Structure 1
Amino acid sequence: MLRYHVLGPVRAVRPDGTDAVLGGPRLRALLTALAAEGGRAVAPGALAERIRSADAPDPGDGGGIAALQALIGRLRRAVGRDAVELTPGGYRLTVGPDAVDVFRFERLTAEGLAALEGGRPADAARVLDEALALWQGPPLLDLPDGATDPLAVRASRRHAEARLGAAAAAVALGRAAAVLPELTALAAAAPLDEPAQALRIRALAETGREAAALAAYEEVRSGLADRLGTRPGPELRALYGRLLAGGGPASRGAGYADGAGDGVTGRAGRTGGSPAAPSPTPPPFASPLPYPPAHRAPRRGNIPARLTSFVGRNDELGEVAAALAAHRLVTLTGPGGAGKTRLAVEVADRTRPDDHPDGVWLAELAPVRDEAAVADAVLTALGVREPALPARSSGPPADPLTRLVEFLCGRRLLLVLDNCEHVVGAVAVVVERVLGVCAGV
């Protein structure tokens, strides 16, 4: 089976490692548009419109659907007739779940960030390095207006998270010096991103450059004050306090790295003429830490580390939290790139652990291409494997939805189902069954 690359220039790679020859911008745009659907069908009219501005129609090629049909013929000659299928819903690439690099990249990034959140930096470094190796350039580069496509926007955001996560894993593994140039670049690109700035400051301190770390903190503090009218959050202030306490990185203890905990309660100190402010109790919707502090008991679940600050949207946070307190099912809708995922994850992670003693869990459904695989994807997100379920004395094995319901019954947890729109029918069936049987979900 061919593998398709849309991170950077589009490529179709045969099993023997050779590239299919893709001539002309319209042919490359067509392949990019189909690959970006990950195996879903695209109506001919929508497909023709999506690639229309890639180039003028070929002479004698006709226009609209006729031109598209001619392009489909050329694409089949390049990648194989069976690689492009005409279905009642339109044209689709016959691809497996990991055959398109952007979807594999998203899956690996989610796994790597979950490993980092779970305190497994070595696993996180390995998986995130594998994800970043797939990134060969901007996503959907050969598609007209590809830079504004929701998939490209999402992938670019995940790329920044993967880079920062890989750097965080390296720092946790004692390789701060190796990733300091990368962290410096990331921090320069996002001067108001507190988790990125905190990680850079920590790396400076870990490499013995504590004066530079204090100066970097002052730059962040003044930047936040000048541009947002705010001061650093509790994690940055706690990190600053630990820097002021002096001593080498090793003497600070495991909790130093996380930039959280006891804060700077009443500890005086100056850098660049600015006093260290006391660290107040965070408000109910305080910005989360990039990874959990060592002294805090980690909550159960798989919510990934957020590697960028969450600024504003307090009204929406409160509104969604209130809805969640009153209803067992809350749905967030809106256009692509509006921030539904981030809002849902923020609200979920800020709920009280006592409300969901069995954890807060995120099932990423973007890589799922088959509606029949939705329940399996949720089971995988929950970490459920067959031996963990009740044994059956006889009869055929239970279907995935039955196994999911069996697992969830009697548990009290919060489940976030993300990117549902392309499998919404199957998601509705799963949600109705779970809510109808599992009162604690």
Structure 2
Amino acid sequence: GRGQAPATGQAPPPEGNLRARLTSFVGREEDIRVIGDDLARARLVTLLGAGGAGKTRLSQEAAEAHARVGGGWPDGVWFVGLAPVDDAEDVAQAALAAVGARDTKLRGAAAEELRVLAELTSDSDPLHRLVEHCGRRRMLIVLDNCEHLVDAAARLAEELLARCPGVQVLATSREPLGVPGELLRPVEPLPPEPALQLFADRGAAARPGFRVEDDLPAATEICRRLDGLPLAIELAAARLRLLSPRQIADRLDDRFRLLTSGSRTVLPRQQTLRAVVDWSWDLLDEGERTVLRRLSVFAGGCALAAAEAVCADGRLDALDVDALLGSLVDKSLVVAAPGDLGADGMRYRLLETVAEYAAERLAEAGDDKEATERRHLTYYRELARTTEPRLRGRGQRAADRLLSTEHENLHTALRRALAAGEVGELLCLVHALSWYWQLHDLRAESRHWSGAVAALGPDPFA
């Protein structure tokens, strides 16, 4: 049944238009099993994830694997790729062309195939023709890359589900379709071990004889800093033709110039790491872009209150930031996860690749970078100042946990105050954190920052 991870190769491929994949599939066995469970209880399942997370490949592997073991689709699995479609009005036509190929497969001559396809699409309403074609069939439609045409994809899915009782839809998107009954299945980055396995596999294809064991620390660093994103890892592996793993790892601070060697046969937006993130950026409105680039000033994520304080300004208030932050989470550009601080501890963070891209965009935004970094410094100076008294009282445990959670942001605030020569801000931060450093026996850190303040300020004995 669908609740088990099917073994491939034990049954003929399902009817439909799925093409054979040309590379190995690594590290998603549990995801395939879970998607089978999802399809057993929902007619629309949407795989959500960041660009380059491997949603397209996972949808194909899951659809084929479950079809092979009796997935309930005797009329086949049909893949509808929307990435090349630019106009929302062409979505239904693209789906019709994909599933309509079933009727042409029995006719060998190319001219006859074209004639039959033309007959299938002659109706003035391709969606009506599609519903007519699928109405009595039991089939799975894989609707891939919906994010840039999400409204049209949602209308198509809703119409198919309402009027074709035997049809199921497995969609991939960077944001939900928002159709009633939709089940959302996040596609997370690869865990460390499968990510390393993928790098080893693609690396050996790029450079025969390559073994990750020859420089395991460098290979591990590459996979970690690329957030476990399969596409980014594959682009890095392609550079092994010219560079060693350590050289690649050392150059990841400039990852958008480094990772540019994608396959010539994929769409242009999948050939470089920058193009992958550009695609997501281009789909954002101005408010979403503003909040995303401002979020790049945080280190180690942030709480909602911090995002509101730092990302809001005269044009965006806190409620605007809340709504835009939610939209960015929906679009798989911001990761939201419960933190360590209880019910109010939801934290928001950017994948490292997205953070670097957003930081570049903030640097291009002129005065917005300086203003946003100033709000970040002010917020964390006040957080440290108001939390410090609680370290000495009954709220010590909660206060200590808060400062530990925000350790990276506090360090970033200290560094920015030092770089800007803001002796007053730096002194306030050092004073507020001194007891925390003492509690954790962080004497070297305390000496370093105390020395930095002394070096900045005027000599009282001069």
> Structure 1 length as normaliser, TM-score?
0.31
Q: Which has the larger radius of gyration?
A: 2
Structure having the higher helix fraction is: 2
